[in-house]
Structure 1
Amino acid sequence: MKKTIYLVLAVIIMALGATDTVHAQTKMKKKTLKGTWTLSEIRFVGEKGLYKANLFGIADSPCFKGGEWMFIPNNGTGRFSINGSERCDEGTHRILWSFFDNGDGTAQIEFKMVDDKNKPLSGNLDGYSILVETLTPEQTVLRVQTDYDGQPFDLVMTLDKVSKDVTL
């Protein structure tokens, strides 16, 4: 009986230790994400063809290239910008975001757009989910699952770290 109790306690302690390890790893990844990033590359993954992706209900994907993304992990705020051109309206969009470690070696960033007071924009009750493929102190690769005319494909964004500055 004593052996069974010790065995159950040992399993519980190991499980709690594993949870602490996952939490610590998630915290480190969030700290790695902290700062300002430039979106340097956009590519499409799927069947061959031409793609049009209206990202996050804002603009066509090429409008995001060269834009800036900022993540502030201690309060889950941030922003991203779109550079203006004849095809794209320039703009900055504030976000509330969370980082989730899925426990299977993958992670994702979930966010929703907010106003200057961090209140969700009207009509934007849904958020967005981005799979984190790679996260290093210098570069992160994100995958957005989307579709065009009912055909699913993935858009892969490469962001390069500009600085650790986090001023909204």
Structure 2
Amino acid sequence: MKKVLFFIFALVIISCSSSSSTTSAPKAEKLSKKTLKGTWEITDIRFVGDKGLYKAFLFDLADSPCFKGSQWVFIPNNGSGKFSLPGGSSCEAVTNRIHWSFYEPGDATYQFQFKYVDEKGKSLDGANTGYRSNIDELTPNSMIMRVATTYEGNPFDVLLTYTKVSEDITL
């Protein structure tokens, strides 16, 4: 009788373990911070949502067109970086230091997050808050980031396309 119970128990364990391994989805490949190492430029800005005109004030800093042509520097070993807006007729030229990282919300996606910091790496916001955006695509030479926002109560997404300019990581 003990042998029969042991056999049934072993059969249940084997069947449960094999069914769980065949039904689980493979985990997305882990992103490496090294992929972002270097200087990147925002080369395209698109809006996704209902048809209409959009106005997006990004990262509590400037209107979305001001980010086109901006240069972003990412240093992977310590998560430091900066970005510079080029300025123009209706945009102020500005440079901000940031501390950045990847975030995994647990749904097989990745997000880029950053906060503004001073020269010593201390947060400029007393509440230590920052910004988080979904990464739609990341290759060694391009990245598409999706920034969720609203205008007059209507939600939409801003797609920022980054193109790698160089391996330079000078702050």
TM-score normalised by the chain length of structure 2: 0.80
Single out whichever of 100-109 and 111-120 deviates more from structure 2: 100-109
Q: Which residue of 1 aligns with 2:24?
A: none
Q: Which residue of 2 aligns with 1:72?
A: 75
Q: 1:55 to 1:165 in 2, by over 3 A?
A: same
Equivalent pairs counted in the alignment come to 156
Q: Which residue of 1 aligns with 2:158?
A: 155
Q: CA deviation at 1:86?
A: 1.7
Amino acid of the structure 1 residue aligned with 2:97:
R
Amino acid of the structure 2 residue aligned with 1:163:
S
CA distance, structure 2, for counterparts of residue 133 and residue 81 of structure 1: 23
Gaps of 5+ in 1: 12-21
Say what the alpha-carbon RMSD is for the aligned residues.
2.7
Instruction: Find out whether 1:63 has 2:60 as its counterpart.
Output: no
Aligned residues of 1:43 and 1:156 also touching (Cα < 8 A): yes
Q: 1:138 to 1:46 in 2, by over 3 A?
A: same
Match of 2:97 among 71, 91, 94: 94
Q: CA deviation at 1:116?
A: 1.1
Q: Which residue of 1 aligns with 2:116?
A: 113
Q: 1:68 to 1:124 in 2, by over 3 A?
A: farther
Superposed, which structure 2 residues align to 1:8-157 within 5 Å? 25-26=29-30, 29-123=32-126, 125-157=128-160
Task: Return the index of the structure with the highest Cα Rg.
Answer: 2
Q: CA deviation at 1:88?
A: 0.6
Gaps of 5+ in 2: 1-5, 18-26
